[in-house]
Structure formats: structure tokens, C-alpha cells
Structure 1
Amino acid sequence: MVKCRALKRLKDAPPSTPSKKQAILQHYMCVSPTAKQSLKRQSPSLSEKVLENMKGFIHETKQKRNSDARNAMHVISASVSGEKISKGEKSKAARKLGLQPRRLSGGQRIRTSVLRSEKSCYEFTKRKTRSDITSDETKKQAYDFWISPTVSHTSSNKTDVKRSRIGPNEYVSHQIHLLEKTQTEVFLDFKAKYPDFKISQRLFESYKPFFVMPVKQKHRNTCCCRQHIEVRILFKKCMEFRKNLHASNLDLTQENLPVFEHLNDICAETVCDKTALHAQCLNRSCKECGVEKLSFNDNELDTSRNARDIKWDKFEYTEINVKGRKTRTKLMLVSKKTKPGEMFNHFKSLLETFPAHQNRANWQSEQY
């Protein structure tokens, strides 16, 4: 009864407004020493208990100088140094575990070397169980044949990385290998080279590494020069502007003002023969080729004051400050805010020479 009466008095004492009641109770819990002591006496949560156990184990193990203790510390530091902990939180996590921040950095290197090594990628293929129980020797032979230089080659783009899930929040990653043959041709070459291995084509294809894939058009466009980047940025902006025109003007159709999905499509419209590219067409010496074949709307080429401003990017040489109170020019991607006509005219000027540049980039990619 005493507790019930106390609760009733406590309910009637604070203001009736929920926000004011919350502010008073929060202030009381933060200021009152008795309330603070009662909160400290509460039992810790499960995560705090696990953290204390890890901290105690680390304190006992990190002082030892043997291989078992060293391996145990490597396992703990690698398991803690995951992707969930950012660089700013690394020092705080190390302080809670009683470690140095550089220990977690070393654990991150160990974690990366384990999950991205060639051995881990092969273990992912090796662990696949099959009913016929293929020997490890055959699996390894098929795995090595898939990544041999005669079958596939590494992508020249550093961002072409493939990763595969091996567990909860655990992944292995590897640089993408591109096939230059069909899978049937690869299997026939394998049978011709190793006639003693008895393996079916379907089973052989199942041992293909997860990072080996057929070559696509995007893998051949590997040029990352200024012209490629600038043309792609302008193409995206121009097509976005054209889509907005289609949405606001119902008279426009895909036939009289097409919205291109790929940059290669708009380049193909500027040449006379789309199936076979000739040097005259690429160099714009052909009278039937050129940017004049493309159709543009009046709103796209509008440079008057009444036209609304749009934002786009282009490369320009700008002066930057360096040490010694000096300046130097540097090619940088600069944001512009102009009329639509200026953006489309610049895009048209780039399309004059881009098909020839694209053809040279494709030819260079095919040499490797």
C-alpha cells in the first residue's frame, strides 16, 4: 500500500503535459545522486558482459610471448576490426578493449588478407559439395584452368572487383577475370589438355571461380581520360534535360526527338554506316556524317535570358595556390551554371571527335 500511495502522489505531482513531465524526470535522473547510484547498481547488459569478458581475456593474453597467444590476439583483433567500425571509432573501440589503436589497424590488415587472398577464393570454390565427390586435385586443376592466361585475363579497371558472401556479414572479394571464350570452348580445351580427368561439362562449369565472367561492352570501354569522362557527364545531363522536355511537352515523341539510353547510340547516329566504321566517317571527312545528323529542340539550344539556368560540369584549367605564395594551373572538373544552349553546344563539339577517340580506345583494349 505504501508503494501504491507513493506512485499516486508521483503521478499527480508533475505537470500534465507529457513534454514537461519528461523534462522534469530526465533532469531528476541526471542531477540526483541517489538516482545515479541506483542506475549504477543495475545489472549490465549482455553486450557489456561480453565486452568485459573480452577485455579480461585480452589483458591476460597480450602480455604473453608465445605463438598461441599471438595467434589468439590476431584472431581477436581481426574479428573486432570489421567494416562496422569506422576510422573515427577505432580509437574508442581500442580504448574499451584495452588495446592500442594500431593493434586494430593490424587486425584490419589481417582480416583483409584473409578474406581477399587467392587461397580464400579457392576455398570458396572447394567447399561446394557434390554427390559424385570430386577429388580436390580435380577441383584445383579446374580452378587453375579457369584463371589461366589462355582462358581469362584480369580486368584493366581497378574498380572491377567481385565479391561473394561466405557467411553472415562475411565476404571474399577478387579482381574480375574476363573470359575470351565461351564456356563450352573452355571445357573442350580442358579435356584436350587433361584427357585423364573424367569430368562432365556441367560439373566443370560449377568449379568456375565466382570472379570469372564473360566480357561485356563496358569492360572494353576502359579509357578513363578527360574526353571520356566529360562526354559521359554531358550525355547524362543532356538526356535528363531532354526527358524533362518530353514530360512537359506532349507533342515531342521518341521519333522526332529521341532520348538515347547509351552513349554509343548517339555516336552511331552521327555516322552513315552503323555496322562498319570507316576512317572517313570517324575523322568527319565524310559528307554524309557529322553531328548535323542529330536533331535538337529549340529549348535545348536556347541561350536567351528567358531560358532557365542549369548546372553541369566540364574540365577547365584553373589556377590554384601552392607553397611559396605561388600559383599554378591545373586541369579540374568545374561546375557551371549556364543556359541550356551553352551546354548542348559544348556537347556537340565533343561529339565531333569522340567516335574516333572511342574507336582507338576499343582497339587498344582488344590488344590485351
Structure 2
Amino acid sequence: MTRVIEMTPPSSAPAEAALPSLVGLDREKLGRALETAGVAERERRMRVNQLWHWIYLRGATSFDEMTNVSKHLRTRLAEVLSLARPEIVVEQVSQDGTRKWLLRMPADTPGEKPHEIECVYIPEKDRGTLCVSSQVGCTLNCSFCHTGTQRLVRNLTAAEIVAQVMVARDRLGDYPGRERAVGPGLPTEGDRLVTNIVFMGMGEPLYAYDSVAEAIEILSDGDGLGLGKRRITVSTSGIVPEIERLGREVGPMLAISLHAVRDELRDVLVPINKKYPIEELIEACRTYPPASNAKRITFEYVMLKGVNDSPADAKALVKLLEGVPAKINLIPFNPWPGTQYECSDWETIERFSDIVFRAGYASPVRTPRGRDILAACGQLKSETEKLSARERLALRAMAAAAE
């Protein structure tokens, strides 16, 4: 059953000015926030460590929960700061357990229209992957991607990226002592519901490099959220100059949104290829600092009927990746309103996968998840106007029809 939950009613009234939130800040910025709250320098480091523990390890939503912080300081913090998360506008739960949240970020300046993004939680038996956004909109215009039809507004801050993880864990009860969410498809193994992070939501992560790098350091900190860098994957369409830097400075897992083996086709599917052609992209992958047989680069390849799915394409893909520690993720195309493409037939996908597998590459076919709520790969698009009152009614009707 598909569920659509409108968390906040639509309103045209301007939001009141909110107190600055500590959620998503690194230690340095937490320290600066405490300075503005009047915390003396001699005790600031201790207080930063306390806040870090309560925000990221315990998921505190109120300063009153921080029992090892003095009552006087808790009161002062609540006067000038907050632990607010982004506002959840709509939550959708797919028949397969996938969850999608439309999140509203505070406006950049008073009186300005707030921006909205989407993030998606994909549960499996032994893990839960959160797909986060790095930009409001996208500038790459990949022809098969719904997100690419939304204009780029701005990069997200590191705090806004981390806050997506906090929202997901809040809604899932994924903190010690919290009541865990129940429902179809949720992990039944392990003690965490969010185990992996993928930068595969809205935007090109390497065009928001500074924010993404800072967010990964916060996410992977062992004293807080504790998501190791082997559980964090950055997916890029091929911003070649930033790939080596990402590996050297940050070191997450890397995924490449490839989708074609010939420049003339990739120029159409992934237009950034005109600036950074396939040969340059593969060389950057070949020299990616963390890459090894234990940390293989994932090459994402969407299966488009009659476009890039022939046996010749499969053989060319194998040859292209020779010498690169790689695995190939075949993605059945997920349709969206107005697209010109169709998904390859299942027999075609299997034949393609067999060729790749016989060449020695892992070639799993990604099971489409959340298609009924437009949460699958390439389907995210979240302009405010997309969720007009009429369309909200349509979503509810879709949910009712699925029951």
C-alpha cells in the first residue's frame, strides 16, 4: 500500500524568523555558536563534545534532554539556538517500504521563498540506504533524468546535507532508546536502520564539493553518526578535476554515472561528457586514490531500450573498464512524465548482464524501488510548484487506488 502523508499544510504566509540550528554543524561551527551564546572559551571544548554526543549519537531534539549539561546553560542555549531539522512537507511510503521525504529548507534571506529538496530511504533485509541530495535542482541536464529537468537554485550546505540524515533517523526511530519504525521492507538484521549513505539524490555532488566533503567528515565521525567512509558513496556524472581531490582529501566510495560507452551517445545522455569525455573520465577512475579490489568503483549504467543495451555495448563496456577495479550496476530505466525513453526488455538486460559477468565483473541488476512514489533512480524532482494542491490530491488518489 502506498501512503502519502502531508506533514505541513500549504501556506503562503511568510515563516517567522527561526533560531539558528546546531543540527548538521561540525565541531568548529558548534564552538562558534556556543561563543555567540556566551559560553566561556575555557569550557567551550567540553561543551562542544557534549553537544556532539547529544545531537549526533543520541538524536536529541530538545536541550532539556542533555542531562549532563547544566540547567542554566540549557536555558541559555534554548533562548538563542535550536535543534531544528528541515521541515517535512510530505512523506511518501512505497508499497515496497521505500520512503521519500520532501524537505523544506529555511529561506536564504528573510521574505524569500524557501527551497525544497527530496531524499529517499531504501530498506533491505540487512541494511538501509539513504539517498541524499547535494543541490537544490541540478545543472547537468542528463536527458534520461527527471531531476535534470529542474533548474539549479543553489548548493546545499554541509549542515543541510547532514540534516537529511537526521530527519531520516528521526522518522525511523534510529537512535538508542527510541522506538524503531515498523513496516514492510524495513531491515530485520543489525541494530541500525540507516547503515549506508549515497550521494545520488538531487544535484551533482562534485559541484558542491566543499559541502559534500564537510558533510562526509561529520557523517563518518566515530563519536557521532559513525557511518564509516566505506558505507558512504559519492556518485558523479564525471566532474574529472574533482575526482582525484575527493579521493585524496576525503576517501569515500566512488560511483560513476556512466550510461554509455561512446562519446557521441554519452554527449546526449550525460552532456557534461562534452567537457570531460569518456577517456579522461576512465583515466581519473583508474588513478582514484582509494580504488582497490576491496574498494571497487561502481559504474552505473541505465538500461535504455534500443539506445545503449546491445551486446556490442556490453562488450565495449567490458573493454572500456579493463584494468579498473570496478563493479557494474545495471539500472532498469525508471519512467517519469514526459520522458522520451523506455526501459530495456528484461531479456535484453539479462543478456547484457551475462556478457559483463562472464568477463569477470560483478553486474547486479538494481531492483527498481519506490517507482510508485517517483522515488527511484532518476525520478527525483521537487520544485515547490510540483506539489500544487491539485497534485497533492492526485497523490492521495494514487495512494487510495493502490490500497
Instruction: Please tell me the TM-score bracket, short chain as reference.
Output: under 0.3
Q: Which has the bigger relative contact order, CA under 8 A and spacing at least 6?
A: 2
Structure 2 length-normalised TM = 0.17
Whose radius of gyration is greater, 1 or 2? 1
